[in-house]
């Protein structure tokens, strides 16, 4: 199988970096433009190349992917929300309105690193918010939630080329429904916060959408389109994203926890979400929405 190495940076000469990569095959393709530096080269792949990229790309502030040369442009975009499409963890920010951000954030971090059971960690954190007035949800969304750079362009460009986009989160539909509209997603899946009409009860609707449910969403969405998992690109940062990232044809780790990054061959750490388009072979001139 022929593989393609894609390098993306805001500042470094990734063409030179690609030339120096071990296992290079054929000529270099420079797709730079609009202040972005993008280079591609066919490669043999293998552990030596991955180790070399892990050593060289941080200094160059370059993101990278090693992908099969065939079926590069995916027909389904499925993405985590918190700390991926948006820059925040909504539950942590909501906890701030209850004066509990530090305590809740510590549990979130451990869960995302795979150190805690996701469902248990979720129910524990939500229980801590019992009695929080519902107005805090709107304040949290309005004051705190912001899209990460490149989110709209990623969704809009893939949709312009016929792809479906689905936001899937272990967070809550109150936020995913709003973020989906902000970014242009076709659909969203998430958990439900239970309330009594005035405050949160401290309970979560069942069943809880976690790691297995994210994988199920990927498989159901591709099947509904008459596709396979190989036709999907999945993005995420935490341990509960791992199964869908592993299964998708292109699994992308975005500012990911070490347990996630170690399992991927496509990583965004230095540029923005548009890199997921360049990993699929899109050119700068094809990007919709900047």
82 tagged catalytic: yes
Residue 136: phi, psi to the nearest 5? -65, -30
92 tagged catalytic: no
**Among the options 63, 82, 231, 243, which is catalytic?**
82
Helix ranges (DSSP H) in the chain: 14-20, 47-60, 90-96, 101-112, 118-127, 135-144, 151-160, 173-183, 211-224, 242-247, 258-261, 275-278
**Residue 180 near residue 144, CB atoms below 8 Å:** no
Q: Percent helix, strand and coil across the chain, each rounded to 5?
A: 40, 25, 30
**Among the options 13, 42, 80, 241, which is catalytic?**
80
In this structure, the number of other CB atoms found within 10 A of the CB of residue 77 comes to 27
Joined together, the tokens standing for residue 130 give 């019992």
**Residue 170 near residue 209, CB atoms below 8 Å:** yes
**Residue 87 near residue 148, CB atoms below 8 Å:** yes
Do the strands 187-191 and 266-268 form a parallel or antiparallel pair, or are they unpaired? Answer: unpaired
Provide the annotated active-site residues. Answer: 80, 82
């Amino acid at each position: 199988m022929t593989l393609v190495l894609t390098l993306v940076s805001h500042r470094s000469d990734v063409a030179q970096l690609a030339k120096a990569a071990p296992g290079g095959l054929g000529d270099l393709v420079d797709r730079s433009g609009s202040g972005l530096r993008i280079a591609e080269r066919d490669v043999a792949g293998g552990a030596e190349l991955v180790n070399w990229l892990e050593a060289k790309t941080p200094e160059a502030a370059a993101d990278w992917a090693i992908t099969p040369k065939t079926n590069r442009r995916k027909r389904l975009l499925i993405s985590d929300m918190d700390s991926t499409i948006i820059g925040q963890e909504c539950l942590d920010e909501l906890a701030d309105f209850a004066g509990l951000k530090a305590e809740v954030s510590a549990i979130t971090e451990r869960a995302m690193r795979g150190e805690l059971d996701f469902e248990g960690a979720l129910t524990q954190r939500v229980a801590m918010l019992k009695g929080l007035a519902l107005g805090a949800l709107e304040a949290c969304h309005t004051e705190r939630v912001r899209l990460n750079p490149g989110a709209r362009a990623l969704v809009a460009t893939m949709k312009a080329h016929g792809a479906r986009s689905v936001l899937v989160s272990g967070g809550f539909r109150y936020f995913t429904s709003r973020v989906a509209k902000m970014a242009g997603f076709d659909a969203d899946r998430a958990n439900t916060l239970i309330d009594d009409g005035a405050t949160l009860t401290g309970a979560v609707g069942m069943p809880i959408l976690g790691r297995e449910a994210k994988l199920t969403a990927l498989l159901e969405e591709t099947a509904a389109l008459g596709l396979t998992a190989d036709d999907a690109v999945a993005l995420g940062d935490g341990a509960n994203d791992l199964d869908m990232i592993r299964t998708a044809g292109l699994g992308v780790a975005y500012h990911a926890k070490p347990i996630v990054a170690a399992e991927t061959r496509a990583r965004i750490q230095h540029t923005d979400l548009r890199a997921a388009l360049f990993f699929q072979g899109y050119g700068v001139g094809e990007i919709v929405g900047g």
